Structures are given as structure tokens and as C-alpha cells.
Amino acid sequence: MIKLKGIAAAGGISVGAAYRVGREDFTVPRQPIKPEEVSAQIQLFEEALIKTRKEIIDLQKRIAVDMGQEQAQIFDAHLLVLEDRMLIEEVILRLKQECVNIAFIFSEVLKKYINVFSKIEDEYLKERVADVNDVGRRILHNLLGRERKGFEDLKEKVVVVAHDLSPSDTAAMHKQKVCGFVTDIGGKTSHTAIMAKSLEIPAVVGLEEATAKIKSGDILIVDGSTGVVIIEPDDETLRVYQKEEQKLKGVAEKFLLAKELPAVTLDGKAIEIVANIELPEEVPAVKLHGGQGIGLYRTEFFYMNRRDLPSEEEHYQAYKYVAEEMRPHPVIIRTIDLGGDKFLSQFEIPKDMQPFLGWRAIRFCLARPDIFKVQLRAILRASVHGNLKLMYPMISGIEELQQANKILEESKKELKNKGVPFDNDIQVGAMIEVPSAAMTADLLAGAADFFSIGTNDLIQYSLAVDRTNEKVAYLYEPAHPAVLRLIKNIIDSAHNAGIWVGMCGEMAGEPALVLVLLGLGLDEFSIPPQVIPEIKYIIRSIKLSDAQAIAKEALRLSTGKDVEEFSHLKLRKILG
Ligand code: PEP
Ligand code: MG
């Protein structure tokens, strides 16, 4: 029995036989060609690039459905490699100069790129090496007309053991066939680790000598929560871990039972459990996990990776599809939240010194009503196809909300004049994600039909912690007393004014904090589809009155850590 310690990448326990996945090298035989064959070889190369692009886009779509948009975006970097002019031109130039087969030339250029990048001590560029490697292998396979080896042919469940795994490899893993994976390299936030979490496959990365110590067929225990891997465990160790594995599986199955059931507390308070999406393709995942609607449909995607602006028709078709698919459940479309960390390719906007405090979201829309109205008209037009609502991001005070509503009224008038039908009573909400809005929620409540608390931003603004900066990540505490007090103020103000309140920031999907949020009176939780069953289960396991007592107690604590510990303790009691 050998015990290895690595980095815990994706929680859970798995026991299975090791399946070694070798590192592919790029060795391709060198074959001279005649000068007249050059153009055919170039065509072969172009076809391989097109095929690879299609493969990546298909994979991206599948991942968006299975795991969400964030994971799918990992492959944007791969598409960029495919468009790298320097790489492509070097291959073609060498092909013309050397007159040898294109696959050989490509493999040589690829090796050179990887060598150069690998020597640079920079975390970002290291990730790029992985991208170039991954895409390069795809192109090479397509050039050589080889099929990529997947995991589909496996006969039994295995633990994959590799030096490193690319996001493509991870995405190809099938939950039915792969019960865990371990790698020599990689960190907690590597793309591979993020994907493993979405796939819910226990994983340990950064083990350094996994491939040196493990042979195919060895029995492995993978504890993805502690980062421990045990090779050929003794009977007693195996028994302990198998028991723990069963226990965890039992809990997961318990959650799944709640998937289709309504989220009602033991004393009868009904809560809306809805999902966050960024793409229409994610709708099936929402339904699959028992979502009762969509509480946040982010729409920035329409504006990304393109040079022109999206048309009204393009917006309309997407909204119509989502509204029809989810009908009669509600779908809340968040109007564009461009700026901040969200890339704007088609506007020549000077870079703000502090993009999160700059010209973004509703500020941008109010300054550019021409662009804003295109989206508003599309949402209004789609409102006849289902239960659509809309909300504005980054509202910081009543004036902005009034101005946005005024532009909405103008958009309605434009449609009315043309005789285009729409739901005149469409509900309009304000996202509360700026502390000034949280503090003046009573004033805003008069001009909105509902609130949706955007904790991702509310936390960064109220605690002065850049949400994208790893160095200050330790200060980013959803359970911080300041955040809880702001949330309480928002909910109380809304309820006093007779409107409902949801939450669409990541905090709403934190199992332990759900108890506190429920107790504070939150009416709707908009969360990633994968956590819907668990959150429903938790809500169905507690009385609202008990949650209220937990929230009251949590509000008395003085640090975020105390609140976290306290609510975890309460959750453990409930889940047994
Ligand atoms: C939020 O800020 O909590 C939110 C949901 O919006 P985004 O993450 O898109 O800024
Ligand atoms: Mg936000």
C-alpha cells in the first residue's frame, strides 16, 4: 500500500482499477513530396483546420449544455490557437520551402512552439502551452485521418492516471466509464480541475509521481476531497473508504429524489428554485435538474467574439426559444452587462483604470439607448411566447432605474405604433449588486416589480475585493456580516413594499448559506443547474421558522468565518 498526497481538485471518493493514459508525442514520419503536390497538401491542412474548428465548437456546445457556459469558454482559447496566423503561415512557408508532407511540417512547428512557450516562467503562458498542445494534437489527428481515442470503449469503471489531462480529454470522459482521475501536474484552479468538478468526478491533481508509481490495473482509492490517493490499499483501508464512498453516494441519491419536487419548507413556505444560464443551449440542463424557471439569463454572449452588433431578430429568436421551452415557468432576461470583466470587442472603449467601477452595464445602456432599445424591443416581442421578465444590472440609485424604465416605455411605444404585440405588464426588476442600491432598496422598491440580488458584485463592492484577483480572494467572504446586513436590508425593504426578492449570485447556491438566506426571507434562488436537487432537498428538510432562528443567530456573529462554521454545523444536523 502506498499513499500519495496531491491537490484535491474535485470532491468525492472513488475506488477503481488504474487506467494509464500515455502522453502522445508528435512523431510523424517525414515523407518528401513533389512541388506540384504542395497545393493539395495546403488543402489538406485547411480541411484539417476546418474539421478541428467544427470539433471544438461541437464540444463547446455539448459542454455548455452538460456543464455550463463557464466551462465551455475554456475552449475559446483553443479556437484562438486555430486562428493563429503566425503558426499557420510558418507551416505553409516551410511546406513550400522544404517539400515534405504537411503532417511532418506541422508536428515540427508545433514542437518548436511548445518548446519556446514551456521555457517561459509565466503561469498564463504555461496554460497556453496546454492549449497549443491540445489543439495541435487535434489538428494532427485530423491531418493523419486518425480517430482520437476516447473512453467510450472501456468495459469497466476505471480511474484514469495521466501525467496531465487536457480539457478535451477531461470533457471526453464519460461519467459511466471513468470514476476518478489523478495526474502528475495541474493545480486546483486548472481548467481540468474545474471540469472535473462539473462532471462530478473525484479527482486529485499535482501528485508529481502518479505515473511513476501507478501501473495499469492497480487498485486505487481517490479521495478528491482531501487530495489523497492510495495505491493497492490493504483490506481494512479499502473497507473504510468503500463505506465512505457508499455514504456519499447515498447522500447524492437522496438529493436527486428532490429534483422534481417543489421546494417547500416543512412548514409550507414555497420557494422558487430557478437557474442561471448564459446560452439557450443550457435550457435542457435546467429542465434535467428540475429547475422551475430561469432567474438569470445573462445576455452578454450575443456581443462576444464578433465585430458587428447583434440584430433585434437575433436577440428575439433566442428569447422566444427560451420562453417557449420554459413555459409556463418564468424566464428573467438580464439586459446587457457589458464592461467590467466582460469583453467588448466591437466598441472602441478606452480601458477604464478600474473597469468594475467604470462604464459598464446599465451605465453603458443609458448612454447608448440606440443599442439598449434593440435588446428591449426583442425582449418585449418575445414576451408573448412565454412568461418573460426583465431586469437591469448594476442599478446604483433610483434615477438610473427611472431612466431605464423610461427607455423601456419608449420601446413599448415604438412597438405599439407598429402594431407589434407584446406583454404590456411584463415584470421589470432591478438587480441589487451595488451597496448604494442595497442601502436605498426602500426607494428603489417603488419603481420595480422585483429585486434580484447579485452577490458576485455586491460582495466585491461592499468588501472592496476585486472578484477576479486571486491575491485578495481570502477576503471575498459571502458570509461577511456586512454582506448579510445588506441582504437583510434589501429583503426587508422589498417585502415592506410588497415586492419579491431573488438572488442570482453564486452565494445562492452555497448549501450552508441557503439556510441563512431562507431565514432572511429570500423568495427565489437562482443557481447553477447542477446544484438544484441539493438546494431543493435542503429547503424541503427545514421549517421556515427554524431557518429564521438560524438567520437571527448568524446576524449576531462577528466574522464571516463564524457564520460559515455555524451554518455548516446547522446544515450537517439537517442532512444527518
Ligand atoms: C452578480 O453580480 O452576482 C451577478 C449575478 O451578475 P454577474 O456575475 O454577471 O456580474
Ligand atoms: Mg453582477
Of the candidates 327, 418, 404, the one whose C-alpha atom is nearest the C-alpha of residue 372 is 404
Mean pLDDT across the chain = 88
Tell which atom from ligand 1 comes closest to the C-alpha of 452. 5
pLDDT digits (tens, 9 = 90+) for 62-111: 777 777 777 777 788 788 888 888 888 889 899 999 989 999 899 888 88
Q: Report which bound ligand comes closest to the CA of 395.
A: 2
Atom of ligand 1 nearest to the CA of 456: 3
Q: What angle do CA 356, 362, 366 make, to 5 degrees?
A: 130
Give nearest CA residue, ligand 1 atom 1. 454
> For residue 504, which atom of ligand 1 is closest to its CA?
5
The pLDDT of residue 127 is 65
Instruction: Name the CA radius of gyration of the chain, rounded.
Output: 26
Residue 352 has a pLDDT of 65
Q: Can you give the pLDDT at residue 570?
A: 95
Closest CA relative to residue 168, chosen from 55, 9, 47, 12 = 55
For residue 460, report the distance from its CA to the centre of ligand 2, in Å.
10
pLDDT tens track for 248-285: 888 888 888 889 999 999 999 999 999 998 888 889 88
pLDDT tier, 490 (very low <50, low <70, confident <90, very high otherwise): very high
Please indicate, yes or no, whether the overall pTM of this predicted structure exceeds 0.95.
Answer: no
Q: Which residues pair with 514 in a beta bridge?
A: none
Distance 409 CA to ligand 2 centre (A): 24
Asked whether the predicted pLDDT for residue 370 surpasses 60, the reply is yes
Pick the CATH number of 271-531 from 3.40.30.10, 3.60.20.10, 3.40.190.10, 3.20.20.60: 3.20.20.60
**394 CA from centroid of ligand 2 (Å):** 7
Sheet with 219-223: list strands edge to edge: 2-5, 228-231, 219-223, 13-21, 158-162, 178-183, 203-205, 7-10
- Best residue among 504, 507, 522 to mutate for probing ligand 1's pocket (most ligand atoms within 8 Å of CB) is 504
Nearest to 564 by CA among 478, 460, 459, 462: 478
pLDDT confidence of 126, banded at 50, 70, 90? Answer: low
Once rounded to an integer, what is the mean pLDDT over residues 463-476?
A: 82
pLDDT higher than 60, residue 47: yes
Q: What is the per-residue pLDDT for 557?
A: 98
Give the span between the Cα atoms of 471 and 141, in whole angstroms: 40
Residues 6 or more apart in contact with residue 15 via CB below 8 angstroms: 179, 219, 220, 221, 222, 238, 241, 242, 245
Distance CA 559, CA 463 (A): 13
Among 333, 343, 431, 487, say which to mutate for ligand 1: greatest number of ligand atoms within 8 Å of CB.
Answer: 431
Rounded to 5 degrees, what are φ and ψ at 429? -115, 165
In 258-360, where does DSSP find H-type helix?
283-288, 312-326
> How far apart are the C-alpha atoms of 507 and 194, rounded to whole Å?
18
Looking at the CA of residue 340, tell me the nearest atom of ligand 1. Answer: 10
Which of 300-309, 456-465, 482-491 shows the lowest mean pLDDT across its residues?
Answer: 300-309
pLDDT at 123: 61
- Supply the pLDDT for residue 412: 98
Task: Give CA–CA dist 37/34, Å, rounded.
Answer: 5
CATH of domain 1-233: 3.50.30.10
Ligand 1 neighbours (beta carbon < 6 A)? 296, 298, 337, 433, 454-457, 504-505
Instruction: Provide CB contacts within 8 A for 512, sequence distance 6+.
Output: 564, 567, 568, 570, 571
Q: Say what the pLDDT of residue 23 is.
A: 65
The residue whose CA is least distant from atom 6 of ligand 1 is 454
Q: Tell me how far the alpha carbon of residue 516 is from its chain's centroid.
A: 24
- Rounded to the nearest angstrom, the distance between the alpha carbon of 470 and the centre of ligand 2 is 18
pLDDT of residue 208: 87
Pocket test for ligand 1, best of 301, 456, 465 (most atoms within 8 A of CB): 456
Atom of ligand 1 nearest to the CA of 276: 5
Residue 341 pLDDT > 70, yes or no? no
Distance CA 536, CA 546 (A): 16
Per-domain residue ranges of the chain = 1-233, 271-531
Residue 464 carries which DSSP code? T
Q: What is the mean pLDDT of residues 159-187?
A: 80
> How many angstroms separate the first and last alpha carbons of the chain?
32
Distance CA 170, CA 217 (A): 20
Averaged over 178-203, what is the pLDDT?
A: 77
Can you give the pLDDT at residue 225? 79
Centre of ligand 1 to C-alpha 455, Å, is 7
CA of 575 to the centre of ligand 1 (A): 29
Checking if the pLDDT of 155 tops 80, the result is: no
Q: Which ligand is nearest to the CA of 459?
A: 1
Question: What string of DSSP letters covers 491-526?
Answer: HHHHHHHT-EEEE-SGGGG-HHHHHHHHHHT--EEE
d(CA 574, CA 541): 7
Cα–Cα dist 204/192, whole Å? 11
At 349, is the pLDDT very low, low, confident or very high (cuts 50, 70, 90)?
low
The residues carrying an active-site annotation are 191, 504
Ligand 2 centre and the CA of 67: distance in Å?
A: 21
The alpha carbon of 457 and the centre of ligand 2 are apart by a number of angstroms equal to 5
Mean pLDDT for 19-39 is 80
Q: What is the pLDDT of residue 148?
A: 58
Report how far residue 152's alpha carbon sits from residue 45's, in angstroms, rounded to the nearest whole number: 28
In which residue are the cell numbers 468525492 written?
12
Residue 122 has pLDDT above 70, yes or no: no
Cα–Cα dist 565/551, whole Å: 13
CA-closest residue to ligand 1 atom 8? 456
Atom number of ligand 1 nearest to Cα 453: 3
Ligand 1 mutation pick, 333, 336, 337, max ligand atoms within 8 A of CB: 337
Q: Ligand 1, atom 3: nearest CA belongs to which residue? A: 454
Tell me the percentage of the chain whose pLDDT exceeds 90: 52
Higher pLDDT, 172 or 414: 414
Instruction: Quickly state the pLDDT bin for 305 (edges 50, 70, 90).
Output: low
**DSSP H helical ranges for 225-352:** 235-257, 283-288, 312-326
What average pLDDT does the segment 545-570 reach? 97
pLDDT in tens, 510-529: 888 999 999 999 999 999 88
Q: Which ligand is nearest to the CA of 528?
A: 1
Cell for 198? 462539473
pLDDT for res 356: 83
Nearest bound ligand to the CA of residue 300: 1
